[in-house]
Amino acid sequence: MFQKKSALASLGSLMVLCMFMFVMVCPALAAKDRIVLAVGGESEEGYDPLLGWGSYGNPLFHSTLLKRDADLKIVPDLAREWTLSKDKLTWTVKIREGVVFSDGSALTAADVAFTFNKGLEAGGKIDLSPLESAKAMDKTTVTLKLKTPDITFIQHLITLGIVPEKLYGPGYARAPIGSGPYKLVRWDEGQQMVVEANDRYYGTKPAIRQLVFLFSEEDAALAAARAGEVDVLGVPSNLAGQEIPGMRLHVVKSVDNRGLMFPMVPDEGRKTPNGLAVGNSVTADVAIRKAVNFAMDREALVAGILDGHGRSAFGVVDDLPWDNKDIRFKDNDPAKAIAILEQAGWKDTDKDGVREKNGLKAEFTIVYNAKDSLRQGLALAVSDMLRPVGIKAVPKGESWDRIKTELTHTNVVVYGFGDHSPLEMFKLYHTPGPEPMYWNAGFYSNATVDQYLEQARAAESFEASIPFWQKAQWDGKTGFTMPGDAAWAWMVNLDHTYFVNKCLNVGKSQMEPHGHGWPITANIHEWKWICE
Cβ-based neighbours of 139, under 8 Å, separated by 6 or more: 97, 108, 109, 110
For residue 467, give the H/E element and its range: helix 462-473
Cα–Cα distance measured from residue 53 to residue 84, given in angstroms and rounded to the nearest whole number: 26
Q: Which of 201-205, 375-379, 404-408 has the highest mean pLDDT?
A: 375-379
In this predicted model, what pLDDT tens digit does every residue of 130-182 receive, in sequence order?
999 999 999 999 999 999 999 999 999 999 999 999 999 999 999 999 999 99
Percent pLDDT > 90 in the chain is 76
Of 73-77, 299-303, 336-340, the poorest mean pLDDT is in 73-77
Regarding beta strands 66-68 and 74-76, do their DSSP bridges make them parallel or antiparallel, or are they unpaired? antiparallel
Q: In this predicted structure, what is the pLDDT of residue 23? A: 31
Q: Please compute, for residue 237, the number of CA atoms within 13 A of its CA located in the half-sphere on the CB side.
A: 26
Cα–Cα distance measured from residue 389 to residue 408, given in angstroms and rounded to the nearest whole number: 25
With bands split at pLDDT 50, 70 and 90, how would you rate the model's confidence at 292? very high
DSSP letter, residue 398: E
Cα–Cα distance measured from residue 190 to residue 78, given in angstroms and rounded to the nearest whole number: 32
DSSP letter, residue 431: P
Cβ-based neighbours of 127, under 8 Å, separated by 6 or more: 427
Q: In this predicted structure, what is the pLDDT of residue 54? A: 82
Are 37 and 213 contacting, i.e. CB atoms less than 8 angstroms apart? yes
Please tell me the pTM assigned to this model.
0.82
With bands split at pLDDT 50, 70 and 90, how would you rate the model's confidence at 15? very low
Percent pLDDT > 70 in the chain is 93
Q: In this predicted structure, what is the pLDDT of residue 124? A: 58
Q: What are the residues facing 384 on neighbouring strands? A: none
Are 176 and 184 contacting, i.e. CB atoms less than 8 angstroms apart? yes
Mean pLDDT score, 243-248 = 95
Of 105-119, 224-238, 370-384, 508-522, the poorest mean pLDDT is in 508-522
Q: Which residue ranges form the domains of the chain, and what is each CATH number?
A: 1-42+189-246+502-532 (3.40.190.10), 49-169 (3.40.190.10), 256-493 (3.10.105.10)
Q: Which has more confidence, 19 or 216?
A: 216
- Alpha-carbon Rg for the chain, nearest whole angstrom, is 24
Q: What are the residues facing 323 on neighbouring strands? A: none
With bands split at pLDDT 50, 70 and 90, how would you rate the model's confidence at 216? confident
Q: Supply the mean pLDDT for the chain.
A: 90
In this predicted model, what pLDDT tens digit does every residue of 318-332 receive, in sequence order?
988 899 999 999 999
Cβ-based neighbours of 364, under 8 Å, separated by 6 or more: 280, 282, 283, 392, 393, 394, 411, 412
